[in-house]
Amino acid sequence: MWILENIDVTHLLCPNKLGDNARMSKIDHRKWRKGETFYLPDELSDRIFFITEGRVKISSMNEEGKEVTKAILGKGEVFGELALAGESKRRDTALALENSEACVVTLDELKELMRDRSELNLFFMRIFSTRQLEMERRLESLVFRDSRSRIVEFLIHLVETKGQRVGYEWVVRNFITHQEIANLTATSRQTVTTTLNDLRAQKLLTFNRARLLVRDLDKLQLEIRH
């Protein structure tokens, strides 16, 4: 979702994986097992992560101790970028939802790269602006939509940003769990399950742990209550 056309971000942020020995000492390519954390709140914010395999959940804890999921990111996406915006200590938790790999770029190395390659500035501007728009979209959905409509709107957004068209249908691979959808839409797991089963009964979509298949995106959009 964050990769821009004509910018080889993988080569810039993860040269190790491509065999660029000249910069292997500066940029670290690492692996995390499912359930391991990339960082925790209050840790030093001095690195940026570029996901090459797997999925990562970005979350925080509110005052009541309830987890708030901010994003679930996958291959080709970047996180930890608030270090560029002056964040000195982490405010979130980054957790591997499955076995994952990422290139780790220090803040100093990234600033050097951005001085040498101006297109990286555009890349990170795109990240900041897109995520800001995403947070505004989620806030508006929380204020103006009921629980069912928020879930439907989330599914449509998921298809539009991470789906692939297959004939007249749309498929999203590595479909997230019902609890993850609930966390992202400020609803309950039971409401998510009920809504998905209802949409499946209407033959608008099918789903399992591996994928979401939307049979009719136009009709699904009509399910959002204004």
For the entire predicted model, the pTM comes to 0.78
Taking the C-alpha atoms of residue 198 and residue 87, their distance in angstroms, rounded to an integer, is 43
Taking the C-alpha atoms of residue 218 and residue 225, their distance in angstroms, rounded to an integer, is 14
Structure tokens given for 26: 């500066």
Give the up-direction half-sphere exposure of residue 144: CA atoms within 13 A in the CB hemisphere.
Answer: 10
Query: What's the pLDDT at 26?
Result: 58
Structure tokens given for 15: 């040269």
Taking the C-alpha atoms of residue 217 and residue 223, their distance in angstroms, rounded to an integer, is 10
Structure tokens given for 171: 């498929």
Query: What's the pLDDT at 64?
Result: 80
Query: What's the pLDDT at 5?
Result: 42
The CATH architecture annotation of domain 9-141 reads Sandwich (2.60)
For the chain, which residues make up each domain, given as ranges? 9-141, 145-221
Taking the C-alpha atoms of residue 196 and residue 172, their distance in angstroms, rounded to an integer, is 15
The CATH architecture annotation of domain 145-221 reads Orthogonal Bundle (1.10)
Spell out the alpha helix ranges (H) of the chain.
9-13, 107-116, 119-144, 147-162, 178-185, 189-201, 217-221
Same fold, 9-141 and 145-221: no
Query: What's the pLDDT at 30?
Result: 92
> pLDDT means per 10 residues in the chain (226 residues)?
49 61 62 96 94 93 83 90 91 95 91 84 84 85 90 94 91 91 92 96 93 94 81
Taking the C-alpha atoms of residue 88 and residue 43, their distance in angstroms, rounded to an integer, is 9
